[in-house]
């Protein structure tokens, strides 16, 4: 593994671990928390490690080699368009009042996971274009 990817894992794994811990804390404490300021703090706390994950991703994209960067940037463009198009379509369906009843919080919370998941799929597809078994 190249140094740039080792550094990425060194940054990504602790940040994701902190995120999982804070989400667990959120699940346990939020139902018992009554004061508004503390509910806001508890709700926003898991976003700190997410910001660190984003930083790690930006740094690895910036510092990896030119083909790796190209693959990632193409995949991010496809993922952004796919997620945007998906949510846009979903918005039209919700607006059509066809019996979809989903909490607004659930819709908003799933934006980022959808973006990451579509990035993963797009990256596999884009990388295949540059791969050869020769």
63 binds other proteins (CB under 8 A): no
Q: Rank residues 2 and 55 by Cβ distance to other proteins and give the closer one.
A: 2
Told to check if 6 binds other proteins by CB under 8 A, we report no
Cβ–Cβ under 8 Å, residues 57 and 101: no
Our CB check for other proteins shows the closer of 103 and 134 to be 134
Site map (CB under 8 A) of other proteins, residues 74-113, x = contact: ----------------------------------------
Report DSSP state, residue 2.
-
The answer to whether 16 and 46 are in contact (CB under 8 A) is no
Least Å from the CB of residue 4 to other proteins: 9
- What is the CB neighbour count within 10 angstroms for residue 88? 9
- Count Cβ atoms below 10 Å from residue 45 Cβ, excluding itself: 16
Segment near other proteins (CB under 8 A), from 11-19, 64-72, 78-86, 114-122? 64-72
Residue 62, interface with other proteins (CB under 8 A)? Answer: no
What is the C-alpha to C-alpha distance for residues 19 and 27, in angstroms, rounded to an integer? 12
C-alpha distance from residue 120 to each of 21, 56, 66, 128 (Å) = 24, 16, 19, 13
Q: Give the interface with other proteins as residue ranges (CB under 8 A).
A: 2, 64-68, 70, 127, 129-132, 134
């Amino acid at each position: 593994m190249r140094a740039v990817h080792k550094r990425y894992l060194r940054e990504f794994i602790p940040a994701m671990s902190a995120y999982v811990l804070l989400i667990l804390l959120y699940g346990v404490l939020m139902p018992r928390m009554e004061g508004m300021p503390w509910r806001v703090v508890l709700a926003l706390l898991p976003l700190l490690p997410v910001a660190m994950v984003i930083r790690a991703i930006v740094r690895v994209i910036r510092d990896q080699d030119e083909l790796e960067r190209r693959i990632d940037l193409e995949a991010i463009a496809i993922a952004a368009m796919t997620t945007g198009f998906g949510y846009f379509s979903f918005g039209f369906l919700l607006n059509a009042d066809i019996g979809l009843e989903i909490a607004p919080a659930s819709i908003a919370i799933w934006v980022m996971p959808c973006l990451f998941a579509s990035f993963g799929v797009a990256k596999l597809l884009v990388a295949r274009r540059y791969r050869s078994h020769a």
